[in-house]
Structure 1
Amino acid sequence: MTPEDGFVRVGGVPLHVVVEGRGPVAVLSAGLAMAWFDWDRVAALLAAEGRTVVRFDRPGHGLSGPAAVAPSAAGEADRIAGLLDALGLPGPVTVAGHSIAGFHAEAFARLYPERTAAVVLVDGSVEEAPRVLLPAGLRTGAARAAGRALTAAGLPAALGPLARRATVRLSRTGGADPAARDLVRRCYRTGRVWRGALLENSRYLDVAAEVLALRRTHPLTAPATVLAGYDGSARGSALRWLARQGDLAGLLGARFEVAEPAGHLVMLDRPHQVARAVLEAAPPGEGPGRGQPFA
């Protein structure tokens, strides 16, 4: 089925959303500064296997509007719920979060257990003991100021696509950025995306601490999968990251799987394995179908 591409307003922000396929719902949320098209191959595989696939850009990412407020774990969980409501997809759904969006996916599963069929953390962020040194307001203000300064200097327009391409290449085990050049230019030449990434990064440790608190008060009742990217090397940093991902799986009582060879952008390096992890995360059943088309 041809993807439906449009916008819905959630929490006062126009969110860019792409929906395709038919069947039980899978929500895909990308990592910091990434966009909906980074899930292209995974989404196509899931839709072909009988899933309704929902991809969206968080505020300040992809084509979505700028963030109205600083991000939080609960706020991102509410955003996913609000997006599903706007699309007429009540759930239960499988939520897959990559990198920092792993925090958001876990928060959704804990705060909306009745709407969660399964959760998949794709090389998700791990912070065992996050410590925030500076006040949140100060960090948020600095991030906004830096974003404005970079935009005024013209750096996004001059270097945005190049920075995106370089980052993707460094985050894979092999291969260039597969994203279409026009989409990269459309997103990464804008100061909005740079400001969105800086703002989200400024609250990274706060979100991590919030998820740790949720683990003490809100049990994870849905089946979970931790899919870790591993490049196959004997480098200490790679092995330590793999061990931390395994520890996270143990903490969550999750199924642990290694994607090898893969860099941090597992959905680009191993799309078939990511799709399989999503398909196998929840038992097959009669999931909800499509809601109303959006404008």
Structure 2
Amino acid sequence: MVLAASAFIVAAVLSSAWITGQFTTPAVDRTDGYVSELAARNQPWTRLFRVSEVLSGLSCVFGVALVPRVAREWPGWLALAAFGLLTFAAGLFPLDCAALSDPACGRAGTSFAHRMHTLAGPLGTVAVLAAMVVLSLRWRSWVSWLFTWLSLAATLLTVAAHADRHGVGIAHRAQLTLIAVWLVYVAVHLLISDDDDHDHHQAAWDEPAITVNGTTGAGTWNSVAGGADGYGRPHVVEQGAGPAVLITAGPGGAWFHWDRVAGHLAGGRRRVIRFDRPGLGLSPRSPAPPTLYAEVARLAGLSPAHPERVTVLAHGVACWHAEAFARLHPLCVAGLVLVDPACAVRRRRLALGGSAGQWLPALGGTWGATALARLAGPAAHRLLTGEPDPSGAYSLGKVPLAVAGEWLARRDMAADLRLLRGEKPLPGVPVIVVSTGARDPCRQRLATMLGARLVRLPVSRRQVHLKAPEAIAEMVSAIPARGPGPSHRNP
């Protein structure tokens, strides 16, 4: 909220740079000349005013990108973003000369930039007026409506003055002043509404869970989630009956990537529990950055109650969470199946990871993140997995920011896991390390350290669970439902 408000204030200040031009560019008529004539190519301070206009437009777009999403406000923010882009274009393509102040301007023809400027200016005015109307309707604020009506009146006066060829400068300057003041009002409105939104997000933790039942090609499932795109309970899917199997996906993964594996396990009389980590899939965002111990606590909360044990199936970096869970909760684990585990290499902790993790979840709820996800998310998902996105999860703005947050937390998680390996022994339960692609020394060392059985699958390393679901399900089914005694050693 603060960054978005600051951006709108900067846009308002930069768009008011014409005030100084009244004294530095006397060739532009203050009564009958457009403000944009100050930035004409043949004026002495053209670069200053063009740069101010360009930066003003970019600041406006940046502010819209940082505004948190609110239901049914998107047309207003889209119009305001269009105004920022058109303002940017108007500064990028200046007038050739002072169109109204110089009678000789345009007699020899005009350039492409001149024509673009004359088109971008009116379109930008229409866009900002549309933004004023839509946001005023949503906010129901008499102050916003006051600026909207005054800006509309100033615009009509500018059009009438242009037709009369007199007083255009005065009306245009009044119009730009009202737009700049309205941008400051937008900033103030965001700052004031920030407190209410904070209270709403805190209350979202207490929202009741939403339970959905259905049937897919993988069998009958039960889905539980809370909240929406804000904060709340994680999305959990349970399927089948029998000894429990807990599946935790790799980086950026969602529950539906494991449909085929879950279907095989549920058909083999296993109760399969899948979930989406915060910000991924259908799980809402979390106000806290990801940590190894938070993921361990999540696995513990999803595991069945003692004395029943759970077999944990993990992929990629999530294998770290599964291993740490087994070390910290040895009586809860029947066995581990680690698919293409990431290597916890020794690197210095990343200071940026903790600080960035504090604000990345908030950015995931902004209009900018939503626009980025909807433009690139489905295509990127299909490119990486070769599969469609049936739930539309990768069109949500929270997902790319959650992926970035987990990537930034990798070094801290690896460091915590290395410390944990020296403090807590691994319980004597069956462990299988699945490796794909070429022979990997890192996974060989991990299997030796964990006393695990190393299995190599002749499939591509990327998304192995989508290409060999039967093989992975067989490995999980081979692990006894209850873990053996402490004397057990892995073959």
What is the match of residue 409 of structure 2? 203
Matched, 1:188 2:394: yes
- The yes-or-no answer on 1:23 pairing with 2:238 is no
Aligned partners of 2:226, 2:301: CA distance in 1, in Å? 10
Structure possessing the higher radius of gyration over alpha carbons: 2
Counterpart-to-counterpart distance in 2, 1:3 and 1:43: 10
- Bigger helix share: 2
Give TM-score, length-normalised by structure 1.
0.81
Verify: 1:105 aligned to 2:318, yes or no: no
* Match of residue 376 from structure 2: 159
Alignment check: 8 A CA contact 1:16 1:63 kept: yes
Contact 2:432 2:452 in 1 (8 A): yes
Identity of aligned pairs, percent? 36
Q: For 1:283 and 1:139, how far apart are their aligned partners in 2?
A: 42
Partner residue of 1:265?
Answer: 463
- Return 5+ residue gaps in structure 1 as ranges: 169-175, 231-237, 287-295
Per-residue deviation, residues 241-280 of structure 1 (Å, max 9, x unmatched): x221111101111111011123231101111111111112
Work out the CA distance in 1 between the residues paired with 2:235 and 2:408: 23
1:8–1:83: 8 Å Cα contact kept in structure 2? no
The residue aligned with 1:36 is 255
Kindly indicate whether the alpha-carbon contact (under 8 Å) linking 2:233 and 2:283 is maintained by their aligned counterparts in 1: yes
Rounded Cα–Cα distance in structure 2 between residues aligned with 1:263 and 1:57? 22
Matching residue of 1:248: 446
d(CA) in 2 for partners of 1:63, 1:153:
15
Who is 1:94 aligned against?
Answer: 311
5 Å matches for 1:256-295? 256-280=454-478, 282-284=479-481
Letter in 2 for 1:189: S
Letter aligned with residue 194 of structure 1: P
Cα pair distance change 1:3/1:90, threshold 3 Å: farther
2:261 and 2:469 in contact (8 A); partners too: yes
Report which structure shows greater RCO (CA 8 Å, sep ≥6): 1
Q: Which residue of the other structure, out of 76, 97, 101, is the alignment partner of 2:295?
A: 76
Structure-1 separation of matches of 2:467 and 2:353:
35
* Cα separation, partners in 2 of 1:8 and 1:51, compared to 1, 3 Å: farther
CA distance in 2, matches of 1:26, 1:81: 13
Q: Residue 182 of structure 1 aligns to a residue in which SS? A: coil
3-state DSSP class of the match of 1:164? helix
Task: Name the counterpart of 1:127.
Answer: 344
Give secondary structure in 2 for the equivalent of 1:2: strand
Partner residue in 2 for 1:229:
436
Whole-angstrom CA distance in 2 between matches of 1:116 and 1:42: 20
SS of equivalent residue, structure 1 residue 78? helix
Contact preservation (8 Å) 1:144, 1:198: no
TM-score by length of 2: 0.50
Report the Cα distance in structure 2 between the residues aligned to 1:255 and 1:132, rounded to whole angstroms. 31
Residues 1:27 and 1:153: Cα distance change in structure 2 (over 3 Å): closer
Change (3 A) 1:8 1:219: farther
Q: Does 1:5 align with 2:216?
A: no
The offset of 1:48, in angstroms, is 1.0
**For residue 46 of structure 1, what is the aligned residue in structure 2?**
265
Gapped runs of 5+ residues in structure 2?
Answer: 1-218, 484-491
